[in-house]
Amino acid sequence: ALSLSELQSLCASDLTRVAAFLRSDACKSVYVLTGAGVSTGAGIPDFRSAGGLYDSIRPELITASFIQRQKMRFDPTYVVERDMFFQNPFPYLEVRRPFILGTHRQQWKATISHWFMKFLEEEGKLKRLFTQNIDGLDYQTGISPTRVTNVHGSIARVSCEGCGKEMPFDDFCAQVRTNIKDIYKTDPEAPEESTSIPCPHCQHPLVKPNTILFGSNLPEEFFDRVPELHQADLLLVAGTSLVVSPANSAVNEVPGSCMRVIINREQVGQDLGVEYGPHAMRDVWSGERTFLQLIKLMGWQERLRRVKHRL
């Protein structure tokens, strides 16, 4: 087996190959699948990295009674689980509080990764961006919204689980700020509460951002768009652990001739058939600084300079 540094230097030369292919006429259709890792540079924690949401929030403190009722072993993903939310929306709202309010103030800025997608679109190469992210940073670059599929919904739109009516995001945030107290931060031993935000139209207690919780169906659009992947010449997979299904199935929807470039801190997707190392035929792994390196290799530095003030 190769050491990590050997692998990295091997992949650095691969990146030149990727850029050459990207520039060539043989590469017409580029598809991208992104995850939380493309937004960590903006200051938004992902789920599964050290220091990520699952690591730092200790959600067991606020999901304890759910776990007892279900006689389940603790799993941090309960905070984003549908059954949990319907029994008690507080853990979701509490854990998501900084996220919701951060989205509201737009304190986060699109990263180089997001801009790379925009540049790909300007080149006419980008066919579709499948984003698992719910932070909306993809749109800050002015990328055409019709080219983006929000696989797991968006946190910036809020609607009622009862009547379906939308609630203005500003109103929702005002309620989160006042009703969803940051009890976890102030008192880690604080008892679990049941707090929700009621709908102004029908008083149904469950108003929720339009994010897809575990146990809910993905938007129809995802399933409608997945067959497009059969035309991919190049698939970029960036900042995702590839453990959430069915989003991760995208890597196996591309044809066998399609080059797959996995851009991540760590190697992911082996269980889905992604192959790394010298004998891998079409898969390339590349680490954190890939987008900057690719921008240089593509000669897009001037483009980056133009938007630098927005980074």
- Per DSSP, the residues of 101-155 read HHHHHT-----HHHHHHHHHHHTT-EEEEEE---S-GGGGGT--GGGEEETTEEE
- Our answer to whether residue 152 is catalytic in this structure is yes
Tell me: does residue 288 bind ligand CNA (CB under 6 A).
yes
CA distances from 168 to 33, 133, 172, 173, 180 (A): 29, 21, 6, 9, 17
CA distance 263 to 292: 12
Number of residues counted as binding ligand CNA (CB under 6 A): 28
The DSSP 8-state label assigned to residue 235 in this structure reads: E
What is residue 72's three-state secondary structure? coil
Comparing CB distances to ligand CNA, the nearer of 63 and 264 is 264
Among 29, 40, 63, 175, binds ligand CNA (CB under 6 A): 40
Find how far residue 245's CA is from the centre of its chain.
13
Number of residues counted as binding Zn ion (CB under 5 A): 7
Whether residue 199 is annotated as binding a ligand: the answer is yes
Which residues on adjacent β-strands are paired with residue 129? Answer: 32, 148
At 294, which helix (H) or strand (E)?
helix 290-298
Among 81, 94, 121, 135, binds ligand CNA (CB under 6 A): 135
Q: From the list ligand CNA, Zn ion, none, which binds 199 (C-beta under 5 to 8 Å, kind-based)?
A: Zn ion
Task: Classify burial at 51, counting beta carbons within 10 Å of its beta carbon; exposed 0-12, middle 13-18, buried 19 or more.
Answer: exposed
Assess contact for 268 and 285: CB atoms under 8 A.
no
Whether residue 160 is annotated as binding a ligand: the answer is yes
Tell me: does residue 199 bind Zn ion (CB under 5 A).
yes
Among 126, 134, 261, 295, binds ligand CNA (CB under 6 A): 134
Which residues on adjacent β-strands are paired with residue 295? Answer: none
Determine which one of 114, 152, 201, 309 is catalytic: 152
The least distance separating Zn ion from the CB of residue 207, rounded to whole angstroms, comes to 7
The least distance separating ligand CNA from the CB of residue 18, rounded to whole angstroms, comes to 16
Among 152, 207, 222, 258, binds ligand CNA (CB under 6 A): 152
Among 232, 241, 251, 261, binds ligand CNA (CB under 6 A): 241
The least distance separating ligand CNA from the CB of residue 45, rounded to whole angstroms, comes to 6
Whether residue 163 is annotated as binding a ligand: the answer is yes
Non-local CB neighbours of 220 within 8 Å, separated by 6+ positions: none
Tell me: does residue 209 bind ligand CNA (CB under 6 A).
no
Question: How would you classify residue 142: left for phi > 0, otherwise alpha for psi between -120 and 50, otherwise beta?
Answer: left
Q: From the list ligand CNA, Zn ion, none, which binds 133 (C-beta under 5 to 8 Å, kind-based)?
A: ligand CNA
Assess contact for 27 and 236: CB atoms under 8 A.
no
The least distance separating Zn ion from the CB of residue 167, rounded to whole angstroms, comes to 8
Tell me: does residue 52 bind ligand CNA (CB under 6 A).
yes
Comparing CB distances to ligand CNA, the nearer of 90 and 130 is 130
Tell me: does residue 269 bind ligand CNA (CB under 6 A).
no
Interface positions with ligand CNA (CB under 6 A): 35-37, 39-41, 44, 46-49, 52-53, 132-135, 152, 239-241, 243-244, 264-266, 268, 288
Q: Please give the positions annotated as active site.
A: 152
